[in-house]
Amino acid sequence: MKKIRDAELFCKQAESFTNSFLSHFTDTVKLIELVNDEEDDSKFDNLIFSAKYIRGLIRVLKSAPSNPEVKNINQIKADLSREIQKIQVSLESLLSNAGKDLQSYFREKYLRLEPSAFSNFNLLLEDLEKIKLYKNSLKRENSE
């Protein structure tokens, strides 16, 4: 990922592009700022790809009861579980270079095994999916 000069501006542009607000705007900005400090910038690309994939799996599962084309719900659930574990590990890896306070904050807010943390985690995934959609649009613009 090309370094983002202004993470806050980038997130505002993503909001404008997707025509919806980021639920955890400040935390999304913090993640982008952490990525900018990393030498391996593929971590964030992998993170936002996984977020988009997970959100897609959730949409499929929600529509499965009324969609006869969805045949293998158990496989989708297994994929979802695997991807959630994978993205949690990716978040932990990204946070490993952050200060202890920020690590504790993200673990408490997003990674605890409690309903409120899972809800926050889902909203963060939604935000990261919006970032992925915006980044994809930038890639298309640059390739034209």
Cα 137 to Cα 121: distance, rounded to the nearest angstrom = 24
Tally of structural domains, the chain: 1
Cα 65 to Cα 54: distance, rounded to the nearest angstrom = 18
User: Domain of 126?
Assistant: 7-143
Residue 57 covered by a domain: yes
Cα 4 to Cα 110: distance, rounded to the nearest angstrom = 24
Encoded tokens for 137: 């649009």
Over residues 13-25, the pLDDT tens digits come to: 999 999 999 999 9
Please check the confidence at residue 55 and state whether its pLDDT lies above 80.
yes
Q: Using pLDDT thresholds of 50, 70 and 90, give the confidence band for residue 140.
A: confident
Full-model pTM: 0.89
Over residues 57-82, the pLDDT tens digits come to: 999 888 877 777 777 888 889 999 99
Residue 30 covered by a domain: yes
Cα angle, residue 134 at apex, residues 129 and 140 outer, rounded to 5°: 125
Average pLDDT, the chain: 90
Residue 1 covered by a domain: no
Over residues 91-115, the pLDDT tens digits come to: 998 898 889 999 999 999 999 989 9
Q: Which amino acid is at 44?
A: F
In the chain, the percentage of residues whose pLDDT exceeds 90 is: 64
